[in-house]
Amino acid sequence: MRIAYINPQAVPDTLPSCLQILQFAEALAAVEGSQVDLLTPTPSKGATPEMVLGRTPHERLRFQPQSDHRGRWYFPFSSNRAFHRQALVWLRRNAVDAIYVRNLKLAEALIREQLGIPIFFETHELFAQSFCEHHGKLGWRASRKLATLRRRESFVYTHVAGLIAITHALAADIRSEYGVETPILVAADAVDLELAHGSRQSESARPGATETIVLYLGSLHRWKGVETLLDAAPLLPEGVIHIAGGGATRRAELEQHVASSPGKNRIRFLGEVPPCSRFKVIADADICVLPLSNTSIGSRYTSPLKLFEYMAMGKAIVASDHPSIREVLVDGKNALLVPAENPVALADALNVLIANPEIRKQLGNAAEILSREFSWSARAKNVTRWAEHIMRGSHA
């Protein structure tokens, strides 16, 4: 099966969505009988697949970079419409069996072209719900945008050949909110087990290590709940908190957030982490944290890449007790789950683990064993089998 994976953001890139796309596209290409053409704008100089994958991509993953006209003197806009046209031209010149996308506007544009090619859409949120939560009270302009977004979301969910949702809660909310009968496959995100296990094998004790390192690694979006971890710092008699990742602007906001905190001396901001270094940063930690907020995307619609990377590295994990997290982890068995947005509860769990290395080891070992069920390879095979079944049915 030849698959065109199309995305209006350049791949490879350091954005979490682009990291996920590259890892999954490569896994799809590795499925026997598959070939994947990855159509994106041309990546920036220095951005290579090797910096994410840690190896040369599979030979059946073919990169099809398209000119990026955004921001040029002749196209001083951020619109993706030029890329949409480029993708359509490419699709009309190349025979593919299926199209895979996770950008809502692009999916709508491709559906309306009636190409006669099955389109599969991977969704990571209810876009209209996230819009409402982000904007709060809506004025007339935002209300119009919301109405357009709801129409687009309903149209795409109704007209694609199949939907891939990253959590069961998201799949249930799609059914409930839009009443669609489109086939839905729930496929959590995953981890590169080969890369993680290689990092574990080369892991060594930190020379002169005396303090327990508590790590948050990832983007610093507000729904990630990093403030909760920072607010827990004054309640930790021991240990140091490392915040790794995120852009400079958001990092400065969080540094200001803790400027007058009595726990500020226990907090280190490591800055952005190159993708190829992420497992090294995890290896250096003793405890890893996912302090997700009470938003819909945080509580029901997220399947964090870093969760599976923490697990594969055999780290003790403390995470918010949300439906999305409970789809993977079990409290007391392979992680400690605590009420979201509760610094006291988070600090209590961290203090238990800081004081008990044996509990950390037990939870980390159990998490590592569980991570073996969440490889990119297994996810790709599952999605491919499901898509082929749908396509056979459509041609029956």
Specify the pLDDT at position 209: 64
Q: Are 96 and 4 in contact (CB under 8 A)?
A: yes
390 shares a domain with 244:
no
Stated pTM of the model: 0.94
Rounded Cα distance, 90 and 266, in Å:
53
30 shares a domain with 119:
yes
197 shares a domain with 102:
no
Q: What is the CA radius of gyration of the chain?
A: 22
Name which of 195-209, 238-252, 277-291 the model is least confident about. Answer: 195-209
49 shares a domain with 185:
yes
Specify the pLDDT at position 395: 54
208 shares a domain with 170:
no
Does position 396 have pLDDT exceeding 60, yes or no? Answer: no
Rounded Cα distance, 344 and 124, in Å:
30
Q: Count structural domains, the chain.
A: 2
Strands of the sheet with 336-338, listed across from one edge: 267-271, 240-244, 213-217, 287-290, 316-320, 336-338
Kindly report, residue by residue over 241-265, the tens digit of the pLDDT: 999 999 999 999 999 999 999 999 9
341 shares a domain with 197:
yes
Rounded Cα distance, 149 and 301, in Å:
18
289 shares a domain with 172:
no
Paired with 244 in beta bridges are: 217, 271
- DSSP for 20-74, written as a single string: HHHHHHHHHHHSTT-EEEEEEEPPPTT--HHHHHSSPPPTTEEEEEE---TTBTT
**Residue 153 lies in domain:** 2-190+375-394
185 shares a domain with 42:
yes
Cα 63-45-304 angle, rounded to 5 deg = 65
Kindly report, residue by residue over 52-75, the tens digit of the pLDDT: 899 999 999 999 999 987 766 566
- The arithmetic mean of pLDDT across residues 122-150, rounded, is 93
347 shares a domain with 215:
yes
34 shares a domain with 135:
yes
pLDDT band (50, 70, 90) for residue 314: very high
Task: Give the phi and the psi of residue 278 in degrees, each rounded to 5.
Answer: -65, -40
- The domain that contains 272 carries what CATH number? 3.40.50.2000
Q: Which residue has the tokens 């901001």?
A: 269
307 shares a domain with 262:
yes
Q: Nearest to residue 317, comparing CAs of 278, 280, 276, 370?
A: 370
